[in-house]
Amino acid sequence: MGMSIAPTHEIVNWISIKPNRDRYIRILDTTLRDGEQMPGIDLKPEYKLKVALALEDLGVDSIEAGFPITSRGEFEAVKMIAREISSSEVIALARANKTDIDRVIEADADAVHTFIATSDIHIKYKLRMTREQVIERAVEAVEYAKSHGLIVEFSAEDATRSDREFLVRVFQAVVDAGADRIDIADTVGVAYPIFMFDLVSYIKRNVRGNYILSVHCHDDFGMSVANSITAVEAGADQVHATILGVGERAGNASLEEVSTALAFLLGYRVGIKFQKIYSVAKLVAEYFGIEIPLNKAIVGRNAFAHESGIHVHGVISNPLTYEPIDPSLIGVERKIVLGKHSGRHAVIYVLKSLGIEPRDEIVDKVLAIVKDLGDQGIKIDTDKIIEIIRSVVGGGNV
């Protein structure tokens, strides 16, 4: 059922701990890069473009369009996206080497996202380099990209498992070399909120210069959204996110969750046009071939659905009793669902919304049938409700 209750347009802000949150937080969407690294997903360039156009419309600050060195199609996709997108920045990924960066330049992206690992485990077993070589390589990459006029974002891969003093040295060296943004990547999702708060504070305190501080959180322990928000609370200016949290392994921080929490829970400013968030989520689900879980925060079908008698009574009296935000803020309708947990208020609400006077005997009969069907495990969708009501009040009246 999609019956709506008059919106309150109130924003819940009672959790605020800090008064001054009037900062603009950039959102870098990486659905088309890290998101597309989700196992089993390869999007054709024209589908990537459609998603990019939807992301632009949604108001993301940066669209990470892909990793141009990986294939001809990926290069073409980034090039096409760079040509078609005008109001969001288009950024593309490159390892910290000239060949990768040249591909980003040829694709005509506005910005390069260059990265190298900074944790000892990656340096020793993957890169087979020394820490000093890592710094040298990072600086060379940033200088090279800057000399071609690109905006440069530098990520320290596996930053959260890196030695902090070394991480500061790497970040300081790239900022001194001209990097515009530095990014703390929680590559294997091992950070937790208090750790993230401490790490972001440490980097801010110890890396001097003008830079935008970003975080890139993975969801291996289900904490990517909490970590991203805590990073912002500690002073980060940008978060990386993906629609529906798609991405490597357990995925990345979900854009819907991070952006709504930043804006509606904590009062930060973001560029997202929230009314469009649900349709973009549906588009990405379709192209990625995934189902949006019913209970997914913000965009799941049940995110603003109510069945139990106590909750429905509360929501009908004042929606904020059992909803953190008004669903109309994100362009979706509240749903009142009938089932064995329903009470009289829900039935009265449904009858009224269908223009039927909720006389006691009708309410009692409908409720009895609904509970009986619910006990038998029968799903009561809109058609079924109308059928039940017809059987009680007579066909011509519904």
Q: Which residues bind ligand KIV (CB under 6 A)?
A: 34, 115, 155, 157, 185, 187, 216, 218
Pure H helices in the chain: 45-58, 72-84, 98-106, 120-122, 131-147, 164-176, 193-206, 224-233, 255-260, 277-288, 309-317, 344-353, 360-375, 382-393
Q: Is 186 in the site for Zn ion (CB under 5 A)?
A: no
The answer to whether residues 317 and 307 touch, using CB atoms and an 8 Å cutoff, is no
Q: Which two tokens stand for residue 104?
A: 């980003």
Of 1, 5, 32, 34, which lies in the binding site for Zn ion, with binding defined by CB under 5 A? 34
Looking at residue 70, its amino acid is T
Residue with tokens 């970590």: 227
Q: Which two tokens stand for residue 259?
A: 């952006």
Task: Give the residue with the Cβ less far from ligand KIV, 242 or 260.
Answer: 242
Q: Is 76 in the site for Zn ion (CB under 5 A)?
A: no
The answer to whether residues 37 and 66 touch, using CB atoms and an 8 Å cutoff, is no
Piece in contact with Zn ion (CB under 5 A), picked from 30-38, 57-65, 268-276, 280-288: 30-38
Q: State how far the Cα of 184 lies from the Cα of 204, in Å rounded to an integer.
A: 11
Judged by beta carbon distances under 5 to 8 A according to partner kind, the member of ligand KIV, Zn ion, none in contact with residue 155 is ligand KIV
Least distance (Å) between residue 92 CB and ligand KIV? 11
Least distance (Å) between residue 153 CB and Zn ion? 13
Least distance (Å) between residue 130 CB and ligand KIV? 20
Q: State how far the Cα of 338 lies from the Cα of 274, in Å rounded to an integer.
A: 28
Least distance (Å) between residue 216 CB and ligand KIV? 5
Task: Give the residue with the Cβ less far from ligand KIV, 221 or 322.
Answer: 221
Q: Is 153 in the site for Zn ion (CB under 5 A)?
A: no
Judged by beta carbon distances under 5 to 8 A according to partner kind, the member of ligand KIV, Zn ion, none in contact with residue 115 is ligand KIV
Q: Is 61 in the site for Zn ion (CB under 5 A)?
A: no
Task: Give the residue with the Cβ less far from ligand KIV, 181 or 218.
Answer: 218
Looking at residue 194, its amino acid is I
